[in-house]
Structure 1
Amino acid sequence: MTTPKNPFAKASIKPGSTLLLHSSITRTLQQNRMKPEDVISAILEKLGREGTLLLPLFNFDFNEGVPFDYRSTPSHMGALTEIGRKWPGAVRTGHPVYSFAVIGRNASEFEGMDNKSAYGPDSPFAKLRELEGEIGVIDLPDQQSMTIYHHVEEMLEVPYRFHKDFTGTYVDREGMTTERTYSIYVRDLDAGVKTSVDRMGERLWAKGLYRGDRPKEDSGLRIISANDLFDEVEAVIRAGEAEQYLFELDKCA
């Protein structure tokens, strides 16, 4: 069987880097006659032996009272991420809503991570920044991908979001069942806050912080330094421009 050509061969993935990847892979699969596991292999090939790949395994059932099982609760983020969850040697982080699969050299840095707050200082987003990692996006706009914006918002304690606790049944990696409470820095719905970050994405392009391809163009993969993104979003928030770039208000709320 012929090995599929790597569609990211010319992409600006840095060998040895730690890369958090958000993706819509339908076009990639169709154009390259690939399977989802081929996409993971292609990204890992570019990252090399010293590289690390993070894939979001977000699942929102815990918020609705459904038990979370560290060993088996599936990702709601598509076939690529669910395959990543089951990838040999993959490590899963512990938040029942915002967990990640981590594959590669730095996976041990995330092993046992049980962050109570989804986006906080003990989260995978913070660890990604500590490791000077990057965020990649395939064929998605910022609005449908860049969850790390909420990490910046939580670290700066923006007033249009607040900490909300969720308590439910949690089955850990050893199969032990307990009741646990986790938090998410949620938007203020009563105030009519609606996430709206595509304008921020355009600002990042204009500043030259994104590199690579726009959605649905060539590889469709764009990449940005997690720390560069944090600094630029922090600047927007401190300048009082969050409503211009990060959210909008529903006037009917």
Structure 2
Amino acid sequence: MSAIDIATRSLADGWRSSGLENRDVVLIHSSARRTLGRLKAAGVSPSTEIILRSFLESVGLEGTLVFPLFNFDFTTGLPFDIRSSPSKMGALTEAARLHPGAVRTGHPIYSFVAIGKRAAEFEGITNFSGYGPDSPFAVLREMDGKIASLDLPDQHSMTFYHYVEEMCAVPYRYHKAFTGPYTDAAGVTESRTFGLFVRNIEEGVKTYVDPMGEELWNSSLYSGSRPNEGTGLRVISARAMFDATESVITSGRAHGMLYRKETDSE
């Protein structure tokens, strides 16, 4: 067995110890820097391809990986091309976008790439609202999938919270439309409009979700490691995360758990 194979298997074993299993459908948010450093320390040339391969190994041939390919250029009127617009969510997500057989969803701001057994079920998803009821977030929940974050705090990774907020129609966010040039998989370019459920900046609303993350840890809904500890990977059931977040919202505790205001005292 080569050094690369050994490193890949070691990483895969770590991801499984953190909560990934065969046949999982899992959305992975990531900062690959520390894991690349771990590869280098093991005498292997650092490569996001090795990390991607290790995640594929951790869920097996029956599993499916989903990565965010978020890119906010469309919000400024710049063109989006589903065939070539890059991810701005890190090197691992860009490696996933370029992986053979990868399937990309069509929202120009919040697109995703799926690789594996159930990737075809994400094909053709072109949801209007980034966090809407027909979005990949909703599909992940319907599939009883998981969400994982590698070496990132909730504040910089867990966008699923905003899906729950939209499903609960929270009053501190509102629907906003963005229009720009859009090129589809067939190469056809036209002006198209898409939406996002954005925070109310005029009322001083700021995303502030780390306290919700602590609640998930305290409720033992997260498994694995905190950022920059152990494997660095934590894992949660999408359905469990939805239910816990919905409970916080419907019980009136969203302020201070999911958002704060500029006028709040430190």
Give the TM-score, by structure 1 length: 0.98
Aligned counterpart in structure 2 of residue 193 of structure 1, from 205, 212, 217:
205
- What residue is the counterpart of 1:21 in the other structure? 28
- What residue is the counterpart of 1:207 in the other structure? 219
Aligned counterpart in structure 1 of residue 191 of structure 2, from 179, 193, 209:
179
Q: How does 1:64-213 map to 2 (within 5 A)?
A: 64-213=76-225
Q: 1:94-117 CA deviation, whole Å, 9 max, x = no partner?
A: 000000010001101100100000
Matched-pair contact (CA < 8 Å) for 2:107–2:128: yes
Matched-pair contact (CA < 8 Å) for 1:196–1:245: yes
> Distance in 2 between the 1:29 and 1:40 partners?
11
Matched-pair contact (CA < 8 Å) for 1:18–1:134: yes
> Distance in 2 between the 1:25 and 1:78 partners?
8
> Distance in 1 between the 2:256 and 2:188 partners?
46
> Distance in 1 between the 2:221 and 2:207 partners?
21
- What residue is the counterpart of 1:2 in the other structure? 3
Query: What percentage of aligned pairs have identical amino acids?
Result: 53
Q: Which amino acid aligns with 1:2?
A: A
Displacement, 1:251?
A: 1.5
Q: 1:78-134 CA deviation, whole Å, 9 max, x = no partner?
A: 111111101000000000000001000110110010000000100000000000000
- What residue is the counterpart of 2:43 in the other structure? none
**SS of equivalent residue, structure 1 residue 102:** strand
**SS of equivalent residue, structure 1 residue 202:** helix
- What residue is the counterpart of 2:229 in the other structure? 217
Q: 1:193-242 CA deviation, whole Å, 9 max, x = no partner?
A: 00000000000000000000111111100000000000000000000000
> Distance in 1 between the 2:73 and 2:58 partners?
34
**SS of equivalent residue, structure 1 residue 103:** strand
Q: 1:123-148 CA deviation, whole Å, 9 max, x = no partner?
A: 00000000000000010000000000
Q: How does 1:24-35 map to 2 (within 5 A)?
A: 24-33=31-40, 34-35=46-47
Displacement, 1:8?
A: 3.6
Aligned residues: 252
Matched, 1:248 2:260: yes
> Distance in 2 between the 1:169 and 1:202 partners?
40
Matched-pair contact (CA < 8 Å) for 1:8–1:219: no
Matched-pair contact (CA < 8 Å) for 2:12–2:57: no
Gap runs ≥5 in structure 2:
41-45
Matched, 1:228 2:229: no
Q: Which amino acid aligns with 2:114?
A: V
Matched-pair contact (CA < 8 Å) for 1:51–1:106: yes
**SS of equivalent residue, structure 1 residue 164:** strand
> Distance in 1 between the 2:24 and 2:34 partners?
25
Q: 1:11-50 CA deviation, whole Å, 9 max, x = no partner?
A: 2211101000001110100112231011010000010000
**SS of equivalent residue, structure 2 residue 118:** helix
- What residue is the counterpart of 1:57 in the other structure? 69
